[in-house]
């Protein structure tokens, strides 16, 4: 019987810096049976930690994203509905086709002026104080405002939505997680119904309500709720961490910050290296063995869960020399921070644009930007990789 490695035994050090643990696991092999440190529960799963093996597993059609294929349903499916991360082809193909046109490079580029205006507005409010929590002042409100405007979430609802979404992706307990999903499901149902009754508004959620494919296909009420959920949650929570982690990496590597300030053509490479070095998603959401299968020579029994370690894979020295070095001149293309295969992040172009805009504008307007104390706690749970606060001064 395969030994189970309890990641919870590494304590708070693992949450703050999991990279040494993942490095030791990679040295022993690319796939391991682990117990995840999850609040009020301990889930056992296979964890893929090698880059080549993770990339292959992300593109492998055999592990299922739909947990119902092994007789299990999770809170998001029970209380909200199926979405892109809980569906397999042909359903996934259909759902993605109905929404993907909203996230083309051209459509995202049209958002550039609005993203710049939001960034400028947030910095106008932040800079007179001389110091701030970057998460609270910029990294969180920028992507939240963008995705809420894109989908048509009323401004008055955004503060409450932020709290619920944070608890959904990084729960502090099973009780608060359950409550967050219940309230999100209720809120999204009411929002969709309000939009349906109000008539065309031109936002993305309104488009999804009224979208009809050439064959007459439309999203069901549960699918609409699930789609709104995943676009709102994934559309801002990950970008919050991308901006925060990128700025933290620059401020803790002054040589790299100086290089970027001296040559802003390095900005695109900086964002890609930040995605590789400390990506916003630690592990991809669960996959399941709907039938017995093999991953990188490891037998996975029917019904067992598989988690693909994006953070672990992107620091694999077999793929990336000196992986623990933050080097903005490195060619970081091929990282797995946005996934790979049919579940590759739909919002990747938007996240990149928001991060580039936020970092460039912040550095332009704060020549003396520096850390103002240690960062806050790293987010709990195995999914997100980010910190709750980042004190800075200028």
Q: Which CA distances in Å does 127 have to 113, 233, 369?
A: 21, 28, 11
Cα–Cα distance, 302 to 71 (Å, whole number): 11
User: Kind of pairing, strands 63-64 and 287-289?
Assistant: antiparallel
Cα–Cα distance, 7 to 231 (Å, whole number): 30
Give the residue ranges of DSSP H helices in the chain.
11-16, 19-28, 51-59, 75-79, 91-99, 105-109, 112-126, 134, 141-151, 158-169, 174-198, 204-210, 221-234, 237-251, 254-262, 267-277, 310-313, 348-365
C-beta of residue 350 within 8 angstroms of C-beta of residue 235 = yes
Q: Chain-centre distance of CA 59, in angstroms?
A: 18
Cα–Cα distance, 328 to 272 (Å, whole number): 8
pLDDT per residue as tens digits for the range 341-381: 999 999 999 999 999 999 999 999 999 999 999 999 999 88
Cα–Cα distance, 322 to 320 (Å, whole number): 6
Query: What is the full DSSP assignment across 19-39?
Result: HHHHHHHHHH-SEEEEEEEET
Cα–Cα distance, 64 to 69 (Å, whole number): 7
Cα–Cα distance, 101 to 319 (Å, whole number): 33
C-beta of residue 67 within 8 angstroms of C-beta of residue 86 = yes
Could you tell me the two tokens for 110? Answer: 């049209």
> By three-state DSSP, how is residue 391 classified?
strand
Which residue, among 157, 132, 131, has the nearest Cα to 144 in the 3D structure?
Answer: 157
Which residue, among 241, 244, 219, has the nearest Cα to 362 in the 3D structure?
Answer: 244
Q: Supply the pLDDT for residue 1.
A: 52
Cα–Cα distance, 243 to 278 (Å, whole number): 11
Domain hosting 137: range is 5-393
Could you tell me the two tokens for 28? Answer: 């022993």
Which residues, at least 6 apart from 257, have a Cβ–Cβ distance to it below 8 Å? Answer: 250, 251
Cα–Cα distance, 47 to 312 (Å, whole number): 10
**DSSP single-letter state for residue 309:** B
Cα–Cα distance, 313 to 294 (Å, whole number): 18
Q: Supply the pLDDT for residue 328.
A: 98
pLDDT per residue as tens digits for the range 216-262: 667 888 888 888 888 888 878 899 999 999 999 999 999 999 999 99
Question: How many angstroms separate the first and last alpha carbons of the chain?
Answer: 56
Does this model's pTM top 0.85? My answer is: yes
Domains of the chain: total: 1
CA angle 312, 314, 315 (to 5 degrees): 70
Residue 201 belongs to domain with CATH number: 1.10.630.10
**DSSP single-letter state for residue 235:** T
| Local confidence pLDDT in tens for the 394 residues of the chain | 578 999 989 988 999 999 999 999 999 999 999 999 875 455 899 999 999 999 999 999 999 999 999 988 887 788 888 889 999 999 999 889 888 877 778 888 999 999 999 999 999 999 999 999 999 999 999 999 999 998 888 888 888 888 888 788 777 777 888 888 888 888 888 888 888 888 778 788 888 887 655 556 678 888 888 888 888 888 788 999 999 999 999 999 999 999 999 999 999 999 999 999 999 999 999 999 999 999 999 999 999 999 999 999 999 999 999 999 999 999 999 999 999 999 999 999 999 999 999 999 999 999 999 999 999 999 988 999 999 999 999 9
Which residue, among 327, 297, 307, 300, has the nearest Cα to 315 in the 3D structure?
Answer: 327
Name the residue with tokens 């059609």.
Answer: 61
List beta partners, residue 298. 295
């Amino acid at each position: 019987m395969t030994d189970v490695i309890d990641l919870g035994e590494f304590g708070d050090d693992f949450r703050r810096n999991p990279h040494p643990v993942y490095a030791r696991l990679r040295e022993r092999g690319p796939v391991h049976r682990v117990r995840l440190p999850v609040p009020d529960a301990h889930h056992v799963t296979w964890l893929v930690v090698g880059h080549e093996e993770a990339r292959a597993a992300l593109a492998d059609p055999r592990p299922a994203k739909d947990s119902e294929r092994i007789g299990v349903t999770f809170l998001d499916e029970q209380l909200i509905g199926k979405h892109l991360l809980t569906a397999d082809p042909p359903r996934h193909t259909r759902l993605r086709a109905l929404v993907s046109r909203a996230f083309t490079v051209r459509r995202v580029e049209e958002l550039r002026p609005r993203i710049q205006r939001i960034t400028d507005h947030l910095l106008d409010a932040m800079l007179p104080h001389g110091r701030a929590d970057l998460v609270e002042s910029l990294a969180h409100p920028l992507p939240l405002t963008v995705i809420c405007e894109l989908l048509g979430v009323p401004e008055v609802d955004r503060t409450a939505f932020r709290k619920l979404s944070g608890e959904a992706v990084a729960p502090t307990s099973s009780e608060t997680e359950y409550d967050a999903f219940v309230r999100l499901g209720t809120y999204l149902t009411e929002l969709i119904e309000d939009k349906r009754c109000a008539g065309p508004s031109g936002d993305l959620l309104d488009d999804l309500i009224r979208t009809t494919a050439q064959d007459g296909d439309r999203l069901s009420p549960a699918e609409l709720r699930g789609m709104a959920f995943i676009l709102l949650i994934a559309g801002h929570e990950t970008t919050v961490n991308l901006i925060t982690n990128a700025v933290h990496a620059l401020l803790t590597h002054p040589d790299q910050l100086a290089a970027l300030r001296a040559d802003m053509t390095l900005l695109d490479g900086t964002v890609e290296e930040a995605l590789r070095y400390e990506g916003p998603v630690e592990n991809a959401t669960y996959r399941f063995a709907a039938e017995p299968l093999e991953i990188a020579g490891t037998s996975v029994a029917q019904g067992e869960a598989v988690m693909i370690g994006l953070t672990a894979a992107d620091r694999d020295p077999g793929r990336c020399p000196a992986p623990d070095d933050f080097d903005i001149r490195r060619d970081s293309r091929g990282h797995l921070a946005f996934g790979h295969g049919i579940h590759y992040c739909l919002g990747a172009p938007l996240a990149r644009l928001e991060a580039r805009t936020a970092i460039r504008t912040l550095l332009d307007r704060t020549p003396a930007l520096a850390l103002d104390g240690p960062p806050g706690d790293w987010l709990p749970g195995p999914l997100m990789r980010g910190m709750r606060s980042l004190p800075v001064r200028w």
